Structure 1
Amino acid sequence: MSAYARAIALILALSLLLAGCSTPIGVRRLDPREAYRSSTASPLGGDGASAATVVILHRFNLTAHYQTDPAAAIRILHARALEDKRRDILFALAELAYIEAERLTRSGAAGERRRAPDCFLLAAVYAYRAILDPGLEPAPNLFDRRLQSAIDLYNLSLWQGLKTGEAGRIELRNETRQLPVGSIAITVNHDHLPWDFSQFTRFEAADGYAIRGLSVRNRSDGLGVPLIAVRRSARENLFGSQALPTTAFLRLEGDILQLGNGTVQATLELHSAYEDNTVAVGGREVPLEKDTSITTAYKLAEEEIWSFGIDAFLGRLHDVPSRLYRFQPYQPDRIPVIFVHGTLSSPVWWAEMINTLSGDPILGRRYQFWYFFYNSSRLITVSALDLRRAIAEETEKLDPDSNSAAMQRMVVIGHSQGGLLAKLTAIDTGDRLVTATIKGKIEELRTNRENKEMIRDNMVITPLPSVKRLIFISTPHRGSYLSRNFARNLVHRVITLPVDLVKGLGGIYSFLSDNVRHHWQGKIPTSVDSMSPDDPLLLAIAETPLAAGVKGHSIIAIDDPGAQPPDGDDGVVTYRSAHLDGMESEFIVRSGHSCQERPETIEEVRRILLHHLDDQ
């Protein structure tokens, strides 16, 4: 066969062979889900290196090297990054360091596992540079998936890099860490915290916990590790351990060259999630990652908290004072919102509302949230006196010179009995309550000065100048039909009133009007007595309008979906009892009595608080 014939035969054979095989380069069809998974694969999802990082390894002929010795490949690529200013190299280094750290974590060798936090910290350093280094090219692209991946890598790697304590606890201290490449000298800066750093007993990662019981988890995206800062302080928090939301942000000095030539200087900054939304880096504002819901759920996880309201009502907590507690540190430029719970209740029942409102991007910056705890079995005028004194004392302590305009625009929100207490912060009773309950004028009573002062403090009420708006939720202004004789007698059998209260009320009993004495049936009254529809004192309070300049809002629950005002009730309070004339707004929520957790109620409170900001 001639050479020409052999060539033709070879071409024909190759043609037949290629006809039965796929080409070296081509395409295949993907469904949308497979296409998305392929384009978003990353080590954070357990997928190994992303396609973009595989490209970087191929570019520098490191694919095979990385498979046999990942740590050596990272060092080689790091050396390249010192000379090559392309940003995609830093994206790749962040991924590769994270993957190596994960491998060390799973290692059977204890020595390798101990090195894992340092490798995670190296990944955070690379990610920080990939995101924020102005000397790299091209500039970060908002639509580049690698940018969001690098943000997540920074946050997760920093969290894992700080877990150097016993049993993987987070440790925040000044130290120099030896990284797989170079070293880093960390200085902790807690100047941004409004709290004494020495009071904290430990820090825990917010992402290390799932939340149950709250409908919304308030998070904001950015850089940093959201932390739970835990301290013990019975004075500052009624419910044992106090958890405050913070964010740890690792700020690096210099550029990537410093990591190659020795030690990188870094500052680990701690920021309050209640105050700081951004940090300034290189002349621009960088958002901080925050989680404000985790601390609410963390505190409320203690089982004994949930029995506080019942225990106080039954007289088991006489040693716990009625007072204001701040849900967050005081800030003079934010308007206080004070929550007052109802009968057999406690501040924990405001958790859903406080969590939602504090996480609102507008309200969270303009308001601060406080709550009032009290023994809900006592006569309402006694508890209301404690509330008024607590507000006055807190105002004097925090703003003695009246420099804070926000402190003079307080909002008080009360549920059920708490609404009655709230009203008694913002009315001018004159002698109305005295006339309804006492035989004669206070000055003419033949009793000692202490008894006269007790009557005056409880019955002659002037509005607090700092309270400008009230929100009543399921409030029995004209009593609850459950507070009839059977319920009142039952309560008298099971509760124990404080000795000083019994003695004080006993000293003025003989001066009460005949109808009041008949209503109280010769007994020291409880809150249930004073919320009876027949109670003269309650009816006198109901007929007293709000003071001039104070705005009021009613949120009234009606459980029967077919009932329309003025009919209907919430199982405890009728619409007719909860309704007040002269309110700026009235909102009906289809719910039982405990409606403060309902989304409709919370949304209405949000609307009112937004209106309060505009209503100067």
Structure 2
Amino acid sequence: MYRSPASGKPRSRPWWGYAWLAGLALLAACSGAVKTGAPEKGDSLVVAQRLWRDAAEIQRKDMAARNWMHCAMLAYHASEADDAARQQQAQAMADNCTHELVGYLLDQEPVPWRPHTIRVVDEPLRVVFRDLPDSLDDGPVVLGRADEVTMPPVMGERFTTPGYGVPLVGWRAPCRDRPICKLYPPDGVTRALTAWVEPGDDGVAQLVVTGTRKHPEMAIGHRSVPLASDFSAPYAALFDRSHINRLALWNLLGGSQFAQEEGLYLLQDYDPAKTPVIMVHGLGRSPLIWARLTNLIDGTPELRARYQVWHIVYPTNTPVLLNRMYVQRMMDRAWQVLDPDGTAPAHQDMVLVGHSMGGVISRLMVSDSNDVVWKAVFDIPPEGLKGTPADIATLDSVFRFHPYPGVSRVIFLATPHLGSPLADSFVGWLALRVVHAHAPELEALHRVVAENGTHENPLLAQDYASHGLSSISTLRAAQPVSRAAQSLMPAAGVRYYTFAGDLPGTTPPGDGIVPLKSAVIPGAVSTTIVKDGHQLYLNDEVLAKILDILRQP
């Protein structure tokens, strides 16, 4: 009924008015069915493309998400075709729709994910975890699209692999309930994942999330298809979360928080068949200096297939020999967890990469001290000293050591093998007064020296009295223990490579911190000198050469 404009009295609506309203309703219903309802039968790729186009016009995101879900499912079916051109079109459509669907779902559920069922409007979508990395496989995982992870400039280029699916990054806090948990970075575990949509056995849509290192391919129909991956995004996400650079600098000044970060950390799940590349940072630095090299190794397929990157975090305020012992203990603890029997190929073939003081530590890791260093401290053997057995055993571990078994190659970057004159300069003098070392091993040394003063090297006692005992003091070329350690060279059978900077106008010639005569040592397989400063871990020529070295058998 409607009212006459003139009288205001109700009267019957003409038949054509009802017809007009009915037509509008029918048109709206048809339009809604095309855009948001279950897809009609027909060519699956054509329908998927139409759903993709229609989704762009739908205002409600949940309705658009339902279109993307159906689109990804239909495109998956179309990917089973034998025609290569059709496969390519279907894969692109499946990836586009999955990309948008995942973005919508992550906005709705930003919390850690477990396998569960989501309702997209009125239809179910199962989330399925398949072959996740072991480090993510026992708990909820925070998911993010890899293309939304910002690459820090220091990492260089982003390395991606084309293929089926949408690259993701999975993150979770480190576990606490297993020995291997101590080998995961304190800022969490990040891993490369890939997601796609496929029908379940009952026809219900499934969002599959899988690890791309374990299974870089998926099966569609009768063929294997490579998965899309982004191997830069996980490390970039970890880099973004880390606050270790600030702690490293604070550690030099006596801060204790850095001690909580010390250890050896795996950046990928352990693989017993892959050669570990163990990176050791320098004074006042952290593993973040290795961002570009780590990204290059993991982003190069042939190197990713051969190597796994491990990072060392150690206290850079303590003396070099003490840090050598710390690094040895870190590696021992790691292998006790990963390969207690010592039979894995990875255990027999390791590569050390050290920058600056980390290079000195790396050289000492592959050297045999015999009694050279010990005699620079005491004039009698350990068994002749007074003191507790524990204290004397501690000093024996610091001053007497053997090459670490299984290390086959070492790469030295800007390493002061013969010390650095900067330690004797005003800057060094100032650093000696602000850099403080606190360690139980140093307390043991003080106790033993107090009971055996007549057997201590008098030159060393004099040096300790004037310069103290820290990482800075032990980088001085004239320091007695350092001078003894400088004579130690890598053991026979260990190949080593040296890199040095030579800045024009620098006196003495060198990178401004380490002289050439200190960075270049005899016996190296190759020596590379570049016109650059101390931060050779950012030099493109140096990084390219390191990759060439790693490509060698």
Counterpart residue number, 1:532? 476
Q: Work out which of the residue numbers 56, 78, 100 in structure 1 matches 2:54.
A: 100
Q: Residue in 1 aligned with 2:12?
A: none
- Larger relative contact order (Cα-Cα within 8 Å, sequence gap ≥ 6): 2
Given candidates 517, 528, 535, the residue that maps to 1:576 is 517
Are positions 1:315 and 2:259 aligned together? no
Q: How does 1:14-93 map to 2 (within 5 A)?
A: 72-73=33-34, 79-81=40-42, 89-93=43-47
Deviates more, 1:443-452 or 1:93-102: 443-452
Q: Give the residue type in structure 2 aligned to 1:307.
A: R
Aligned twin of 1:278: 217
Residue number in structure 1 paired with 2:64: 116
8 A Cα contact 1:322 1:372, kept in partner: yes
Deviations 1:456-500 (A, max 9, x none): 101111111121111111000001110106344422332332252
Cα distance change on mapping 1:473 and 1:610 into 2, 3 Å: same
TM-superposed deviation, 1:282: 2.8
SS of 1:596 mapped into structure 2: helix
Q: Describe the shift of the 1:421–1:66 C-alpha distance in structure 2 as closer, same or farther (beyond 3 A).
A: farther
1:601 deviates by 1.6
The partner residue of 2:313 within 358, 364, 373 is 373
Structure 2 match to 1:356: 296
Post-superposition Cα deviations, 1:529-556, rounded to whole Å, max 9, x if no partner, equal 1111212322322222211221111111
**269-278 or 461-470, which moves further after superposition?**
269-278
Partner Cα distance (1:527, 1:499) in 2: 12
Q: In structure 1, list runs of 5 or more residues that go unmatched.
A: 1-64, 82-88, 255-262
Aligned match of 1:215? 156
Q: 1:598 is matched with which residue?
A: 539
Aligned partners of 2:425 and 2:378: how far apart in 1? 22
Report how far residue 293 of structure 1 moved: 1.1
Shift of 1:155: 2.0
Amino acid corresponding to residue 544 of structure 2 in structure 1: E
Q: Distance in 1 between matches of 2:73 and 2:409?
A: 50
Partner of 1:128: 76
TM (norm. structure 1) is 0.77
1:240 has 2:179 as partner: no
Q: CA deviation at 1:157?
A: 1.5
How much does 1:274 deviate? 3.4
Report the CA distance between 1:69 and its aligned residue.
Answer: 5.5
Determine if the alignment matches structure 1 residue 230 to structure 2 residue 177.
no
Deviates more, 1:439-448 or 1:348-357: 439-448
How far apart are 1:185 and its partner, in Å?
Answer: 5.6
Q: Hey, what's the Cα distance between the residues in 2 that align with 1:279 and 1:535? A: 60
CA RMSD of aligned residues (A): 2.9
Q: Relative to 1, partners in 2 of residues 1:544 and 1:450: Cα closer, same or farther, differing over 3 Å?
A: same
Contact 1:184 1:264 in 2 (8 A): no
User: 1-side partners of 2:37 and 2:459: how far apart?
Assistant: 93
CA distance in 1, matches of 2:143, 2:37: 36
Tell me which residue corresponds to 1:252. 199
- Structure 2 partner of 1:518: 462
Which stretch of the first structure deviates more once superposed, 591-600 or 515-524?
515-524
Match for residue 327 of structure 1?
267
Q: CA deviation at 1:239?
A: 4.5
Q: What secondary structure sits across from 1:375 in the alignment?
A: coil
Query: What are the residue-to-residue correspondences of 1:474-513 with 2, within 5 Å?
Result: 474-484=414-424, 486-498=426-438, 500-509=440-449, 510=453, 511-513=455-457
Tell me the distance in 1 between the aligned counterparts of 2:441 and 2:533. 33
Deviation at 1:330, TM superposition (A): 1.0
1:301 correspondence with 2:240:
yes
Q: Return 512-521 or 385-394, whichever deviates more.
A: 512-521
1:199 aligns with 2:146: no
**What TM-score results when the alignment is normalised by the length of structure 2?**
0.85
Q: Is the 8 A contact 1:502 1:524 kept in 2?
A: no
Query: Partner of 1:437: helix, strand, or coil?
Result: coil
SS at 1:576 equivalent: helix
Whether the 8 Å CA contact 2:142–2:171 is kept in 1: the answer is yes
- 1:200, 1:229 within 8 Å by CA — same for their partners in 2? no
SS at match of 1:243: strand
After superposition, the Cα gap between the structure-2 partners of 1:149 and 1:69, relative to the gap in structure 1 and judged at 3 Å, is: farther
- Aligned: 1:398 with 2:338: yes
**1:290 aligns with one of 217, 220, 229:** 229
CA contact (8 A) 2:192 2:211 kept: yes
Query: 1:415, CA displacement in angstroms?
Result: 0.3
8 Å contact from structure 1 (residues 193, 270) kept in 2: no
1:568 and 1:239 map into 2 onto residues whose CA distance is 40
Q: Name the residue aligned to 2:503.
A: 559
Distance 2:30 2:510 in 1: 73
Give SS of 2:46's match.
Answer: helix
Identity value in percent: 24
For the Cα contact (< 8 Å) 2:62–2:120, is it kept in 1?
Answer: no
Q: What's the CA shift for 1:98?
A: 1.4
**CA distance in structure 2 between the partners assigned to 1:342 and 1:542 by the alignment:** 17
Q: For residues 190 and 305 of structure 1, do their structure 2 counterparts lie closer, same or farther at Cα, with a shift above 3 Å needed? A: same
Relative to structure 1, is the Cα distance of residues 66 and 411 closer, same or farther in structure 2, using a 3 angstrom cutoff? farther
Match of 1:537, SS state, is helix
Relative to structure 1, is the Cα distance of residues 67 and 292 closer, same or farther in structure 2, using a 3 angstrom cutoff?
farther
1:352-380 per-residue CA deviation (whole Å, 9 max, x = no partner) reads 11011111101111111111101101000
Specify the code of the residue in structure 1 equivalent to 2:479: D
Distance 1:320 1:464, change over 3 A: same
Which among 137, 140, 147 is matched to residue 83 of structure 2? Answer: 140
Unmatched 5+ residue regions in structure 2?
1-25, 176-181
Q: Which amino acid aligns with 2:431?
A: V
Pick closer, same or farther for the CA change 1:321–1:501 going to 2, 3 Å: farther
Residues 344-493 of structure 1 correspond to what in structure 2 (within 5 A)? 344-484=284-424, 486-493=426-433
Cα pair 2:114 2:141 within 8 Å, conserved: no
CA distances 1:74-129 after superposition (whole Å, capped 9, x unpaired):
79995452xxxxxxx4333222111222222xx1xxxx332221111111112212
Q: Which residue of 1 aligns with 2:281?
A: 341
On the 8 A contact 2:185/2:266 being kept in 1, the answer is: no
1:204 Cα offset (Å): 1.1
Question: Hey, what does 1:53 align to over in structure 2?
Answer: none
| Cα deviation code 1:396-434 (max 9, x no counterpart) | 221112231122101111000000111121111111111
Distance in 2 (alpha carbons) for counterparts of 1:273 and 1:572? 42
Alpha-carbon deviation of 1:192? 4.0
State the alpha-carbon separation in 1 of the partners of residues 38 and 385 from structure 2.
92
